[in-house]
């Protein structure tokens, strides 16, 4: 499929200078092996993630943003992730999971 595009600008300037662009169909891409560039921009993947969201009072959110910036974080979510990771590292999860069941059966009889 061939589409013609005319660059923006005064019409008299561009009347004879249209650009021809050929859009490849999916079949053409598969047949010829043409692919989009694989270079990516932005942050690197950090692996499998799960969204955890919450609301917090505005003054506290502003304070979190200030602390994150002061500690060199570009994103507050990265700072929060590290804070939670540190807390989890210092919590004895095995003690939480090994809590004994309450003897409700004995108390009810």
pLDDT at position 14 is: 44
The neighbouring-strand residues paired with 9 are none
Q: Token match 């060199």: residue?
A: 72
Maximum alpha-carbon separation in the chain: 96
**pLDDT interval class at 79 (50, 70, 90):** very high
Average pLDDT over the chain reads: 76
pTM of this prediction exceeds 0.85:
no
The pLDDT score that the predictor gives to residue 20 is 53
Q: Alpha helices of 10-89 — where are they, by DSSP H?
A: 11-14, 26-32, 58-70, 76-89
Which of 65 and 1 is assigned the larger pLDDT?
65
How many CB atoms are located within 10 Å of the residue 3 CB?
9
Reply yes or no on whether the pLDDT at 7 is more than 60. no
pLDDT > 70? residue 13: no
């Amino acid at each position: 499929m061939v589409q013609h595009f005319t660059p923006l600008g005064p019409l008299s300037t561009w009347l004879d200078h249209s650009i021809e662009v050929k859009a490849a169909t999916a079949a053409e891409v598969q047949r010829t092996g043409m692919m989009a560039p694989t270079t990516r921009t932005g942050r690197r993947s950090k692996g499998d993630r799960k969204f955890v969201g919450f609301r917090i009072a505005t003054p506290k959110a502003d304070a979190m943003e200030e602390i994150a910036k002061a500690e060199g974080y570009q994103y507050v979510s990265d700072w929060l992730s590290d804070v939670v990771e540190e807390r989890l590292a210092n919590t004895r999860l095995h003690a939480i999971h090994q809590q004994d069941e309450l003897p409700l059966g004995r108390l009810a009889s």
